A = this chain, B = another copy of it.
Amino acid sequence: MKPISEKSAPPEVKAVFDDIKATRNIKSVNNFWKYLANEPRMLRHTWDSLKSIMGPGELDPKTKELVYLAVSITNNCEYCMASHGAAARAKGATDAQINELYAVVGLANMTNRLANAYQVPVDPQFRQKD
């Protein structure tokens, strides 16, 4: 599939592109959105979800970007690591923090498999009470 340029975008795509630019105060949308525009319904749903969940909420924006980055590393999504790494930095993450995040992600992937391998039963205190 090819990216849909801002110029050639049909109205329902242009509306999303304009909202992305206005919300993020940027002059052009990233490649991700230009490719996703090949399926205008999904472009709309994905942007609506991200705008809502990654916007003001319960966790601060930097934490949410770090979580996004951690998932993207685990799934080995190169584009997502690049874009959410940049976003995390833009929201205040330092190099030292990103390095520590990598360490946490590495350890989590290790202990996930150790817990699987030993089929460790969940401790009663970790179960939520009614």
A interface vs B, CB < 8 Å? 1-2, 30-32, 35-36, 38-39, 41-42, 45-46, 48-50, 52-54, 57-59, 63-64, 66-68, 70-86, 94-123, 125-128, 130
A-B contact pairs, 14 of them (CB 8 A): A31-B120, A32-B111, A35-B120, A39-B100, A39-B103, A45-B49, A70-B70, A71-B104, A74-B113, A77-B115, A103-B114, A105-B114, A106-B111, A107-B110
Nearest-CB residue, chain B, relative to A125: B86
On whether the beta carbons of B32 and A81 are closer than 8 Å, the reply is no
CA distance A19 to B94 in the complex (A): 29
**Smallest CB separation, A93 vs chain B (Å):** 9
A72-B30 in contact given A42-B103, A53-B100 (Cβ < 8 Å): no
On whether the beta carbons of B59 and A53 are closer than 8 Å, the reply is no
On whether the beta carbons of A53 and B41 are closer than 8 Å, the reply is yes
CA distance A78 to B116 in the complex (A): 8
Q: Which residues of B contact A118 (CB under 8 A)?
A: 1, 32, 35-36, 38, 102
Report how many copies the assembly holds: 6
Q: Which of B30, B50, B122 contacts A78 (CB 8 A)?
A: B122
**Smallest CB separation, A94 vs chain B (Å):** 7
On whether the beta carbons of A75 and B77 are closer than 8 Å, the reply is no
